[in-house]
Amino acid sequence: MKTAIRRIAKSSERRRAPRRQPAIGTICQFTPRCALNGMGLVWNISTSGVSVLANQPCEAGVRLEGELRTLDERATLPISFNVAHVKELETGDYVIAGPFPKVVAAAKIKPFISMPPKARARTTRKT
């Protein structure tokens, strides 16, 4: 008896850099002239783009501008990104994601990235 094997084509990876989990409480405060009002919670971030959880949608293709902020406001970074996709979640919130116009240096996004538990423990012991 022959068994049919179905091959699944590999999807092409669109991202230029690996996504990272943001530090707890990292937000994006949108500028007043932006298509979104208020702020969004950063869902993930990389040197090439960002994904934000917001309470309202916007159109794909628009450019959003704002500022990344840490919970303690020790770090801020002005950003803009081109919305590639908008997805409504079952909670009624929206994931809005897209690439930055230019790659952001890894050192600039470092304050906004969550440290793994082992790295956190090493940092805590040193201080």
Q: Is residue 65 part of a domain?
A: yes
Q: Is residue 121 part of a domain?
A: no
The Cα–Cα gap between 112 and 53 comes to 15
Res. 101: pLDDT tops 90 = yes
The Cα–Cα gap between 117 and 22 comes to 13
Question: Per-residue confidence at 7, pLDDT binned at 50, 70, 90?
Answer: very low
Q: Is residue 15 part of a domain?
A: no
| pLDDT single digits (tens) 55-81 | 999 999 999 999 999 988 889 999 999
Nearest to 108 by CA among 82, 81, 78, 83: 78
The Cα–Cα gap between 92 and 57 comes to 10
H/E segment holding residue 123: helix 117-126
Q: Is residue 68 part of a domain?
A: yes
| pLDDT single digits (tens) 9-53 | 444 445 455 666 778 889 999 999 999 989 999 999 999 999 999
Q: Is residue 57 part of a domain?
A: yes
Tell me which residue range forms the domain holding 81. 27-106
- Name the CA radius of gyration of the chain, rounded: 18
